[in-house]
Amino acid sequence: MHYYFYAIDSFIENILKLVYFIIIISYFCSKYLPMIVNVLDQKKSILNKFISEIRDTEIQKDSMRFRRNIERIGEIIAYEISQTLEFQNKIVSTPLGTKIVPVPKKDIVVCSILRAGLPLHSGLLNFFDDAENAFISAYRKHITETEFEIKVEYFASPNLDGKTLILADPMLATGQSLATVFEGLKKHGTPKEIHLACVIGAKEGIDYIKSHFPPNTKLWIATVDEHLNDKGYIVPGLGDAGDLSFGIKL
Ligand code: URA
């Protein structure tokens, strides 16, 4: 009898040890895993047509088409992100009965960097239509022809505590705008998860943001180019996404 209780005791002790081990491992994995980079053109889809049109020097002259293509890419990114979100069951009444449907939790904040981020924001919002919204202006203030610093002036954001933050910036060049904006956003709370939505990126920019965002951040990017030129533009890229969407600035 004594041995019987002893065996049960040590069995429970081992199970508890295993549970503690799993909890500790999952905590460290979620804290220290590297950023997850999802490059969407690695799988061939209609996305490639939209990317080819925004790059094409002739087609991109049509600013309405350019904006709509960025918006369509935003919709595709939203669909991809949606597959990773937390879902909750909703009881839906139809004219003929009821059905339980899993739907994403309503805790999303879409944040865009003005002004180039606006068409991408629109695309994300077409799918996450009940999301809250944040807008931040960030621009490159040139010190010399090739050196610049990021200036943030306009900042409007809801509280981010425990929410799903989707941060949109179409051109991930140096990564400095995204990192600067994220520093500012930290004052508005701690999101439970962060998704970065981008259209074209350069490898330098991706490496830079890897060290400026929490490790479990997910990057969703339509396509990645080889390098930046000495002015910090993506090559071959597409040019200036803000100008192509809204016209040239002084
Ligand atoms: N912003 C743009 O619009 N294009 C680039 O190539 C880099 C930053």
Q: Which residues contact 210 (CB under 8 A, 6 or more apart)?
A: 34, 35
Q: How far is the CA of 45 from the centre of ligand 1 (A)?
A: 24
The two structure tokens encoding residue 57: 């020097």
Phi-psi region of 39 (alpha: psi -120 to 50; beta: other; left: phi over 0): beta
pLDDT, tens digit, 9 for 90 and up, residues 141-198: 888 878 888 888 899 999 999 999 999 999 999 999 999 999 999 999 999 999 999 9
- pTM beyond 0.75: the answer is yes
Closest C-alpha to ligand 1, atom 7: 233
Q: Is 80 exceeded by the pLDDT of residue 128? A: yes
Average pLDDT over residues 101-117: 96
Domain boundaries, the chain: 1-32, 35-246
Q: Are 178 and 172 in contact (CB under 8 A)?
A: yes
pLDDT, tens digit, 9 for 90 and up, residues 228-240: 999 999 999 999 9
Q: Is 60 exceeded by the pLDDT of residue 18? A: yes
CB-based pocket (< 6 A), ligand 1 = 116, 171, 173, 233-234, 237, 240-242
CA–CA separation, 138 and 156 (whole Å): 12
Closest C-alpha to ligand 1, atom 5: 233
| Fold of the 35-246 domain | Rossmann fold (3.40.50)
Q: Is 60 exceeded by the pLDDT of residue 116? A: yes
Q: What is the pLDDT of residue 23?
A: 74
Mutation to probe ligand 1, out of 67, 112, 171, 206 (largest number of atoms < 8 A from CB)? 171
Q: Are 105 and 50 in contact (CB under 8 A)?
A: no
Residue 181: strand, helix, or coil? helix
Q: How far is the CA of 231 from the centre of ligand 1 (A)?
A: 10
Alpha carbon separation from 90 to 50, 103, 131 (Å, rounded): 34, 7, 17
